[in-house]
């Protein structure tokens, strides 16, 4: 039997477990520094849009309308344009999510490898319904389209980490690995 394991290659460094949900983005040195560094990499301000959306999610945990407006202003774009880009990508949360945002792929390869059962198992073990934040603020579980690791179905993304070969039975093992300091199973 395949053993569930975190993917070797980390995903983007956003969606960390610790968020500062009410902070504005560019009013302190940290935010301004991120903005300036990002702007320096592109010929047009618009090029920094995706990195700044990622930064907002990293800092706030989700993309609030206020954050999108702040980004629009910083990049000389309209809020409507920023929102249209943000809503195109499922990797950006458009509403608050739990500390651990669990995205279960149920696309074709994962579908034939019990993806829906894995999804149901996560709901059961986190005590949540699809898309809601658990009472303790720890978990949000959603279904995701193909996560691009089809050879390792079922694939689950938790914040910035991929877990591969997940089965309904190994869901508790994945959850146990989320907290820092927890021994790897
Ligand atoms: S179908 Fe699940 S990762 Fe591609």
The pLDDT tens digits for 97-149 are 998 999 999 999 999 999 999 999 999 999 999 999 999 999 999 999 999 99
Which has the higher per-residue pLDDT, 111 or 14? Answer: 111
Mean pLDDT of the chain: 87
Rounded Cα gap, residues 35 and 104, in angstroms: 32
Could you tell me the domains of the chain? Answer: 5-14+97-176 (3.40.30.10), 29-88 (1.10.10.1590)
Instruction: Give yes or no for residue 118 CB within 6 A of ligand 1.
Output: no
- For residue 164 the two structure tokens come to 């591969």
Strand (E) or helix (H) holding 39: helix 29-39
Mean pLDDT on 51-72: 92
Are 87 and 94 spatial neighbours (Cβ–Cβ below 8 Å)? yes
Could you tell me the pLDDT band of residue 184, with boundaries at 50, 70 and 90?
A: very low
Decide whether any atom of ligand 1 lies within 6 Å of the 67 Cβ: no
Instruction: Give the closest residue to 90 by CA, choosing from 27, 22, 15.
Output: 15
Pocket test for ligand 1, best of 114, 153, 163 (most atoms within 8 A of CB): 153
Report angle CA 154, 12, 98 to the nearest 5 degrees: 70
| Ranges 4-8, 40-44, 137-141: which has the least confidence | 4-8
pTM: 0.78
pLDDT surpasses 80 at 183: no
């Amino acid at each position: 039997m395949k053993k569930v394991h975190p993917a070797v290659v980390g995903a983007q460094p956003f969606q960390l477990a610790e968020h500062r949900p009410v902070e504005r983005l560019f009013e302190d040195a940290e935010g301004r520094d991120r903005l300036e560094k990002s702007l320096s990499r592109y010929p047009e301000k618009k090029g920094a849009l995706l990195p700044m959306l990622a930064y907002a999610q990293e800092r706030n945990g989700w993309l609030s309308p206020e954050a999108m407006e702040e980004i629009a202003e910083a990049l000389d774009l309209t809020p409507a344009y920023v929102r249209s880009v943000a809503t195109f990508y499922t990797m950006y949360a458009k509403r608050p999510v739990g500390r651990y945002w669990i995205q279960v792929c149920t696309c074709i390869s994962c579908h034939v490898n019990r993806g829906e059962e894995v999804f149901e198992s996560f709901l059961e073990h986190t005590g949540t319904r699809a898309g809601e934040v658990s009472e303790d603020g720890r978990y949000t579980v959603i279904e995701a389209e193909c996560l691009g690791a089809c050879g390792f179905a079922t694939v689950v993304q938790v914040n910035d980490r991929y877990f591969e070969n997940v089965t309904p039975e190994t869901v508790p093992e994945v959850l146990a690995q989320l907290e820092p300091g927890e021994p790897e199973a």
